[in-house]
């Protein structure tokens, strides 16, 4: 079984972040520019303060109107962030994400941000592992 650390080793540990005092307009622009679904919100001390996703932005706009775009990301972000460690098994991470209905898991080491994985990253990694196992089985059978 593989863990989240293996996924990060393949995809890299770069994380798109935004400060907690940035506006929702800045967050939306950054999401669009990077073509991603979420930004990790970091406090001035570098700790994870929250996560703001496309879904959070849409809900905030529906509740507060277009004027919300000039307010801080704290208005829309999810403050209770579910995080993972590098050692967390991929299947466990997928189960947590499915149960909690989240698409992004920041990865932390000693409380510090070390990467992020999306549900797409985990599914891709799992499919590659399944294909590699099937190829190894075919090779074994053909060699017998």
Look at residue 139 in the predicted model and tell me its pLDDT: 86
Contact 69, 61 (CB under 8 A): yes
Give me the domain span that covers residue 93. Answer: 4-143
pLDDT of residue 144: 66
pLDDT at 130: 87
- The answer to whether 81 touches 60, Cβ cutoff 8 Å, is no
Residue 89: which CATH number?
Answer: 3.10.580.10
Structural domain count, the chain = 1
Tokens of 15: 């994380």
pLDDT at position 1, please?
Answer: 59
User: What's the token pair of residue 11?
Assistant: 């995809």
Provide the 8-state DSSP code for 46.
Answer: S
Residue 6: the pLDDT is 93
* Residue 47 confidence (pLDDT): 83
pTM above 0.95, yes or no: no
Query: Dihedral sign, CA of 124, 127, 50, 42?
Result: negative
pLDDT at residue number 112: 84
CA nearest to 5, candidates 86, 112, 91, 110: 86
Angle at CA of residue 95, ends 39 and 5, nearest 5°: 60
The tokens for 110 are 């000693």
pLDDT by residue for the chain (144 residues), tens only, comes to 589 999 999 999 899 999 988 999 999 999 999 999 999 999 888 788 999 999 999 999 999 999 999 999 999 999 999 999 999 999 999 999 999 999 999 999 887 899 999 999 999 998 988 888 888 888 888 886
């Amino acid at each position: 079984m593989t863990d989240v650390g293996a996924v990060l080793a393949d995809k890299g540990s770069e994380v798109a972040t935004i400060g907690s005092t940035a506006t929702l307009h800045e967050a939306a622009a950054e999401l669009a520019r990077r073509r991603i679904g979420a930004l990790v919100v970091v406090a001035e001390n570098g700790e994870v303060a929250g996560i703001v996703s496309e879904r959070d932005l849409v809900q905030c706009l529906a509740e507060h109107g277009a004027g919300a775009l000039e307010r801080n990301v704290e208005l829309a972000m999810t403050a209770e962030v579910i995080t993972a460690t590098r050692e967390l098994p991929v299947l466990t991470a997928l189960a947590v994400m499915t149960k909690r209905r989240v698409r992004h898991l920041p990865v932390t080491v000693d409380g510090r941000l070390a990467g992020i994985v999306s549900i797409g990253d985990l599914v891709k990694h799992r499919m590659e592992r399944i294909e590699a196992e099937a190829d190894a089985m075919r090779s074994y059978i053909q060699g017998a």
